[in-house]
Amino acid sequence: MANHSQFGFQDASSPIMEELVEFHDHALMTALAICTLVLYLLTLMLTEKLSSTTVDAQEIELVWTILPAVVLIMLALPSLQILYMMDEINEPDLTLKAIGHQWYWSYEYTDLKDLTFDSYMTPTADLPLGHFRLLEVDHRVVVPMESPVRVIVTADDVLHSWAVPSLGVKTDAIPGRLNQTSFTASRPGVFYGQCSEICGANHSFMPIVVESVPLPVFENWSSLLSSQ
């Protein structure tokens, strides 16, 4: 999760988030190169005496037309690749349905029988020692690590948004409509998120907690919860 005074992204916990972080660094380096070139040219114009050159005007126009096109291609190609990867869902091992309410989440494991629950934020007075205020919930979403998970997102009342930054997931929950996204947790851990669409007075109090565990642990958890 994010720390105080953190300037970068949270640690990537899925292949998609790793790609997003790499693209962010790539775009920043491109912007840094552009700013450096512009600053150098401005400094050169202010410090050097103006003199006539032998460079033809058509050559200059050709350069300042081709260079921006090359920069846009350098940004567009990896961006389109990531968009395609985020939209592609191939044979998920698990399907999870997330339903947004004012102000909590309901979850349904559609591949498992009778496995549904509501997830409310844990009040500060009931918060165990060492847990995070306003981020912990009474029932976590448990998924097997290194397994493709499809998430179907919708809402029961108003607009919500199911977002977990470290997994690279953010999908709007719209009443009467099903949106879907996917992720693959690349390591075990607990990943925190929040509703990212202003949905009313208690918008800040409907967190999301995804816990990634090995497959045998997930099977034991699901069988135990289904039997209750």
- Residue 173's region, left for phi above 0, alpha for psi from -120 to 50, else beta, is beta
Q: Does residue 101 register a pLDDT over 70?
A: yes
| Domain 15-87 matches domain 94-226 at the CATH topology level | no
- What is residue 2's predicted lDDT score, i.e. its pLDDT? 73
The rounded mean pLDDT for the chain is: 89
- What is residue 173's predicted lDDT score, i.e. its pLDDT? 94
Higher pLDDT, 82 or 89: 82
Give the DSSP H/E element, type plus range, for residue 199: none
- What is residue 34's predicted lDDT score, i.e. its pLDDT? 92
Residue of 90, 76, 117, 68 lying closest to 222 (CA atoms): 117
- What is residue 205's predicted lDDT score, i.e. its pLDDT? 92
Q: Does residue 51 register a pLDDT over 70?
A: no
Strand duo 141-144 + 207-213: pairing: parallel
DSSP state at residue 66: H
* 94-226, CATH topology level: Immunoglobulin-like (2.60.40)
Structure token digits, residue 212: 């990634």
Alpha carbon distance 193, 164 (integer Å) = 4
CATH assignment, 15-87: 1.10.287.90
Tell me the pLDDT tens digit for each residue of 8-46: 888 889 999 999 999 999 999 999 999 999 999 889 888
Give the DSSP H/E element, type plus range, for residue 194: strand 189-195
Please work out, in degrees rounded to the nearest 5, the angle formed at the alpha carbon of residue 133 by the alpha carbons of 130 and 134. Answer: 150
Domain ranges of the chain: 15-87, 94-226
